[in-house]
Amino acid sequence: MKVSSEILRRVLGFIFGIKHFALIASLVFFVIISIALFLIFQNAQIMLDRINIDFNQMQLVLANQAATQIDSDLSTISKELEIMARHIEGMPDRTLNSTLMTFIERTNTKGVLAAGLIDPGGELLNLQKIGDELLPFEKADISPSGLVSCSVSVLSESLPFEREKGPTIIYGVLCHQAELSGGSEGKLFAVINIPGLVKNSTEKIRSGKTGYAWVVDKWGMFLYHPESDFIGKNAFIARQEREPYISFAAINEIMKEKMLKGQEGIGTYESGWHRGIEGRITKLIAYTPVKSEILGEDNVWAIAVAAPTTEVAEAVHGVYIRHIAAEGAIIAAMFIFGILLVLYQFSLSEALKQQVSEKEKYILSILGNSLDAIVFIDNENRIKVWNRGAEKIFGYTEEEMMGHTFHKIIPPEIDAEKELNSIADEVMEKGYIRHYLAKRITRGGRRVTIDISRTLIRDEEGNVIGSTAIMKDVTEKMEFETRIYNTEKLASIGNLAAGVAHEINNPLAIILGFADLLKEKFDKDSQEYSDIVTIEENANNAKKIVENLLGFARITEGMADVFDITESINTVISIVKNTLITSKVELATEVPENLPQICGDAREFQQVIFNLINNALAAMEGSGGTLTISCYEKNDWVFVTVNDTGTGIPERIKRRIFDPFFTTKEVGKGTGLGLSLCYGIVNKHGGRLTFKSVSAEDFPNRVSGSTFIVSFPAAERAGIPGEVKDDSKNIGHR
């Protein structure tokens, strides 16, 4: 032990006896400290870069969501324009004007300002628009034919238009070929305010606290920007004009080499302002093209979502401050260096973990509050993320869906396993699936049509970790297309019915005539006379069916006049009142006396109401109930509703109820032409016939019943003044 102690004493004496030992030791200490601090700062920078990448990926999701919305809006406008184009041939001017205005009002939130029709020579035949704003083709130096010289389903080149007051507006035109009277081809077009279209999808985007989105076209012109004076200007020039002392080389390179070539990605660039703050600002940017068949491959629009790096780095700055304090403490207290270093490293790790955790919560909060359903599905088809948009569409909370598959929201008649596996296989094979339409059922039992876009997700090593799905409720859009399809189908069947009816009428007239002659040759008590009467009765029945066919085909036009709707309804009620009492049906009416007059044939209107009441009584047959007839005026239209508490109309037959000869009644109790005739009469008068129903078959736990809504434009709105024709005492039954 004495030898060992002596050796240790000599070694320490030698070390401390070295010249400038303190200086050398201090230098070594500071080198070690500097290396350690450098590694700490480097680790913090790596974490900051990782957070920046994650933040940019979140911005890319928002950009893709906006691009999908723009594509959806363009597709909706194009589809409705195409549908209208197939039905304008021979359409009266008043009906065409109403149709165009309805289209504009329905799509105005998507940027549609006007719609119209031109002939093959470029002459403007019809133009409907909202407001008094001057459109570009209304100026003398721009011809209508030049404005709409586009082919079917192609958005024309953007048309900047400098107004006398206010900023530049960028217009686009979407048009479809349309058959005109006489077989000529014209063009049905819609004028779109491009900034208004893209603003609908990008204005509310918030990346972080202050981030925003902007959109450019293939020439680099701003289609949308929060700085309104940028809209309509070339991005390369506008930025430099505003801040000439800042180099915009990075963002110009991104736009020129990537965005304007339809690429998707993320990056950073220098800017000179951000939401009113001037100065050099480094921003994070994520960009993606708008992939739309309407725009075409050559017409590239690009969406960028940008936010300053301070959105991410602000919280990390506290870490650097703690670094400086730690360094001073280490220098001042060398003897506790090791302990302080361990504690500091632990504090740094916890702080960075907390920042990452907060960032993840922030990103999830943004995605969770999206109006569309955004869902993340793992490789086992189990749900891992279920946002508020999904809760709003389907009614299930996040707790109810986490860890489960989509089986809950798939209707029972669909093979869930087969459909889910088919979608998963296609996503795995192609990497994505877009605009997949599927039937789904909500928690409340409502059936909806969903537009699904699903994308494969991989980790940094390229391994598949799941997929994200963006789902939109397109039920109303599909129902509109179905109504248009029914209108087209009824028109075709009506033409066929008219031809058949005329061909049958002639032999029926001959049969009835000869039957009448034969009756004169036989005694009334003879068997032969009885047989002829039977022939005559059946021929008359056939004649009634023919008359119904002619009525459906709208061969008889009725009396075109104005009449008092209140008096007509009261006339119908007085006729059916005894029938209601016999059927044990209670009648409730809400028919005011000061309703506007209606343009049309009072007898045909009464026939519509009479048929609807008969259908309501049939729905309540055997069980009684309440029949409610009410009228009201709204926006120059008069509405009549007929509501019953019957069994309702099942979902499986709702699409067919206006089809000719379709009936659910027993043989001999109905021809199936009642609702078809009503539909034809209402359409002939420029009105609408709609319905809503809850059936006992589909919803056994809810109150069943149906409501049919008949609406007509008021006579003053239709531009037909005149006295009321008292024609409400007779109801025409055909």
CATH code at position 567? 3.30.565.10
What is 40-65 written as a DSSP string? HHHHHHHHHHHHHHHHHHHHHHHHHH
**410, 529: one domain:** no
**Is residue 591 a part of any domain in this protein?**
yes
Closest to 512 (Cα-Cα) out of 537, 531, 491, 487 = 537
**710, 682: one domain:** yes
Residue 369 is predicted with a pLDDT of 67
Q: How many domains does the chain have?
A: 3
**Is residue 603 a part of any domain in this protein?**
yes
Residue 364 is predicted with a pLDDT of 64
Residue 181 is given by DSSP the state: T
Distance CA(610)–CA(575), nearest Å, equals 9
Beta pairing, strands 464-473 & 373-377: antiparallel
Distance CA(133)–CA(193), nearest Å, equals 12
Residue 24's contacts (CB-CB under 8 Å, 6 or more residues apart) are 18
Last residue of a domain, one of 469, 491, 508: 469
Do residues 657 and 675 make contact, with C-beta atoms less than 8 angstroms apart?
yes
**566, 710: one domain:** yes
Helix (H), strand (E), coil (C) string for 328-355:
HHHHHCHHHHHHHHHHHHHHHHHHHHHH
Distance CA(515)–CA(137), nearest Å, equals 68
Residue 641's contacts (CB-CB under 8 Å, 6 or more residues apart) are 628, 629, 630, 631, 707, 708, 709, 710
What is 503-526 written as a DSSP string? HHHHHHHHHHHHHHHHHTTS-TTS
Distance CA(475)–CA(134), nearest Å, equals 35
**538, 673: one domain:** no
**Is residue 81 a part of any domain in this protein?**
no
**697, 571: one domain:** yes
Domain coverage including residue 505: 479-552
**544, 515: one domain:** yes
**712, 574: one domain:** yes
**599, 705: one domain:** yes
Distance CA(136)–CA(147), nearest Å, equals 8
**Is residue 543 a part of any domain in this protein?**
yes
Task: Give the SS3 label for residue 121.
Answer: coil
Sheet holding 112-118, edge to edge: 124-129, 112-118, 185-193, 169-179, 159-161
**Is residue 405 a part of any domain in this protein?**
yes
**629, 496: one domain:** no
Question: Cα–Cα–Cα angle for 132, 90, 555, nearest 5°?
Answer: 130
Distance CA(600)–CA(683), nearest Å, equals 11
pLDDT digits (tens, 9 = 90+) for 40-89: 666 666 776 777 788 888 888 988 999 899 989 988 988 888 888 888 87
Distance CA(430)–CA(453), nearest Å, equals 12
CATH for 496:
1.10.287
**524, 644: one domain:** no
**Tokens 């530049």 -> residue:** 168
What is the Cβ-side half-sphere exposure of residue 91, based on CA atoms within 13 angstroms?
23
Residue 26 is predicted with a pLDDT of 60
Q: What percent of the chain has pLDDT above 90?
A: 5
Question: Cα–Cα–Cα angle for 647, 653, 658, nearest 5°?
Answer: 100
pLDDT digits (tens, 9 = 90+) for 329-339: 665 555 565 56
Residue 708 is predicted with a pLDDT of 92
Residue 709 is predicted with a pLDDT of 93
Residue 669 is predicted with a pLDDT of 54
Last residue of a domain, one of 469, 495, 530: 469
**Is residue 642 a part of any domain in this protein?**
yes
**Is residue 460 a part of any domain in this protein?**
yes
**565, 713: one domain:** yes
**Is residue 621 a part of any domain in this protein?**
yes
Q: Is 373 exposed, middle or buried (0-12, 13-18, 19+ CB in 10 A)?
A: buried
Residue 289 is predicted with a pLDDT of 92
Residues in the chain predicted with pLDDT less than 70, given as ranges, are 1-27, 29, 33, 36-45, 48, 133-169, 313-349, 352, 356, 359-360, 362-369, 481-502, 544-560, 660-673, 716-734
Closest to 454 (Cα-Cα) out of 423, 420, 494, 487 = 423
Residue 553 is predicted with a pLDDT of 53
Residue 681 is predicted with a pLDDT of 81
Residue 628 is predicted with a pLDDT of 92
CATH for 397:
3.30.450.20
Last residue of a domain, one of 469, 498, 530: 469
Burial call 170-207: b when 16+ CB within 10 Å, e when fewer: bbbbbbbebbbeeeeebbbbbbbbbbbbbbbbbeebeb
What is the Cβ-side half-sphere exposure of residue 219, based on CA atoms within 13 angstroms?
11
**691, 584: one domain:** yes
Do residues 103 and 190 make contact, with C-beta atoms less than 8 angstroms apart?
yes
Residue 668 is predicted with a pLDDT of 47
